[in-house]
Amino acid sequence: MTLAQIVEALSLEVFTPAADLSVDASSGYAGDLLSDVMGNAPGGAVWVTVQTHANVIAVATLRDVAAVIVAGGHKPEPEIIAKAEAETIALLGSNLSVFDIAGRLYKMGLRSE
């Protein structure tokens, strides 16, 4: 399923409008402990977190995730959005909780690897 399909189905806010939403998401991953994400998030995953700092973008780039969804209504600062755009990371947002987003992604067919 593409990021565009996920954005539409979950009514996500797109913080990085230049991001390529035609990219396929291969799996999902939820977590806020960056060392866990660095060690376990598969490439191509949609990563759901409440973290909004610059290290999120660094980890997303390192793990080659398809997108980061910031949950719980948290909003990244403009410099974080600019970093995501520079690294071509799709940065998305939702007022839903991490739990709700993960459940909806699972229901849509995304699984952990």
Q: Number of folded domains in the chain?
A: 1
pTM of the entire predicted model: 0.96
CATH at 84: 3.40.1390.20
In a domain, 81, yes or no: yes
In a domain, 113, yes or no: no
Per-residue pLDDT at 100 exceeds 90: yes
Name the pairing type of β-strands 67-70 and 27-30. unpaired
Torsions phi, psi for 68 (to 5 deg): -115, 125
In a domain, 70, yes or no: yes
Mean pLDDT of the chain: 97
In a domain, 29, yes or no: yes
Nearest to 72 by CA among 88, 95, 93: 95
pLDDT mean over 17-39: 96
Nearest to 111 by CA among 42, 58, 61: 42
- Dump the DSSP string for 20-59: -TTPBP-EEEE-S-HHHHHHHPPTTEEEEES--SHHHHHH
**In which element (H, E) is residue 7 found?**
helix 3-10
In a domain, 90, yes or no: yes
pLDDT mean over 16-25: 96
96 is in which domain, residue-wise? 3-107
Q: Which amino acid, one-letter code, is at 39?
A: G
How confident is the model at residue 113, as a pLDDT? 74
In a domain, 112, yes or no: no
